[in-house]
Amino acid sequence: MASESPNVLSPMDSHLVKIIICAFLAIIPVIMWGYIFLKRSGEPVGTVILTFIAGMVSVAPIILYKLSWQYFPELNLFNYFDEYSGNVLGFTGLLYLPLSTLLSFFLVGMIEEYMKHLAVKTVDNGRFKSIDDSIEYAIVAALGFSFIENTMYFFYIWHYQGIDTLYLSFVFRSVFSTFAHILFSGIYGYYYGLAYFAEPVYQEEIRTQRHPFIKLLHNILNLRSSTIFAQEKRTQGLFYAIVLHAFFNVMLEMDMTFLMIPFLILGYSALTYLITQKRNHVKYGRVRGGMSEGLASIRGAEDVER
Element (H, E) at 89: strand 88-90
Rounded CA-CA distance 139/160 in Å is 31
Number of domains, the chain: 1
Cα dihedral 102→107→113→117 (10° resolution): 150
Residue 69 belongs to some domain of the structure: yes
Does any domain span residue 5? no
pLDDT digits (tens, 9 = 90+) for 211-244: 555 555 555 554 556 677 777 788 888 889 998 9
pTM value surpassing 0.85: no
Radius of gyration of the chain (CA): 22
User: Is 169 part of any domain?
Assistant: yes
Domain, as residue range, for 226:
14-303
> Does 143 map to a domain?
yes
The span from the first CA to the last CA of the chain, in angstroms, equals: 94
pLDDT tens digits, one per residue of 194-212: 888 876 666 665 545 555 5
pLDDT band at 152 (very low <50, low <70, confident <90, very high): very high
